[in-house]
Structure 1
Amino acid sequence: MNNPMIHAIRGAICVQEDTKEAIDHAICKLFSQVLEANGLLERDIAFLLMTQTGDLKSRNPAAGLRSGGFCATTPLFCMQELEIDGMLERVIRIMLVANREMEKVVPVYTEGAEKLRPDLTI
């Protein structure tokens, strides 16, 4: 049986504070870790979906990635995370869709976001 060519890889990171610099640092770190953990190159990415909690207002994570030198030609789409009572604060979530054969996908939850999916945390 062949491995599928399309894979969705999830990840999340907690941002220390609501500043442009903190959001830029967090999204670039998360993106880099997802690529590294999965052995991907940017050219393997079909598109990237991102959400951020409503308490992060200083910067759009897509702008943060691009200012960090990433995703110049990758389609990016950002949305606000649903607001739910008791939700984890200052979180950026991603779903990266890779167009490449892979044996396994490795989700990345870091900087406090491990609480979101302890079942997927390494």
Structure 2
Amino acid sequence: MVRAVRGAIQVDADDHDSIVAGTTELVSAIMERNDLTTDDVISVLFTATPDLTAQFPALAARKLGFHEVPLICCTEIDVPGALPRVVRLMAHVETDRPRAEMQHVYLRGAVALRQDIAQ
């Protein structure tokens, strides 16, 4: 079955190290909590709030071994008053898990975004 898993993390600053470290933390948590390998991942869409321009979040996934997985980055909608410095992702994966058992991961300040599904 194909499932989508979501996640987000608020990073500390708009710099290379903060974006890569935060995205690495997020991707690693999603993979671990859903018992996934890169072979299970079909594709990943990353978004970053408009205040994050120092690095592509997908670089972190490449460093984690996502060499053959299609990845794309884009800018999140610039909504006034929205939480700043947030990297989000939606990964499409192959898994036997029912939809209700997929663990969506919201870390640091991004927990406030989806308290209904954050794990």
Scaled by the length of structure 1, the TM-score of the pair is: 0.92
Give the distance between the partners of 1:42 and 1:29, measured in 2 at CA. Answer: 15
Q: Residue deviations 1:71-114, cap 9 Å, x none?
A: 11110011100000110000000001001211310000001100
TM-score (norm 2): 0.94
Counterpart in the other structure of 2:48 = 52
Query: Structure 1: which 4+ aligned runs deviate by more than 4 Å?
Result: none
Residues in 2 aligned to 1:58 and 1:64: alpha-carbon distance in whole angstroms: 13
Following TM superposition, by how much is the alpha carbon of 1:64 offset from its aligned partner in structure 2, in angstroms? 2.9
Q: How does 1:22-37 map to 2 (within 5 A)?
A: 22-37=18-33
| 3-state secondary structure, aligned to 2:53 | coil
Give aligned pairs, total.
117
Structure 1: any 5+ residue segments left out of the alignment?
none
Once the two structures are TM-superposed, the CA of residue 63 in structure 1 deviates from its matched residue by 2.0
Residue identity over aligned pairs, in percent, reads 34
Q: Which residue of 2 aligns with 1:97?
A: 92
Structure 1 counterpart of 2:64, from 55, 62, 69: 69
TM-superposed deviation, 1:121: 1.9
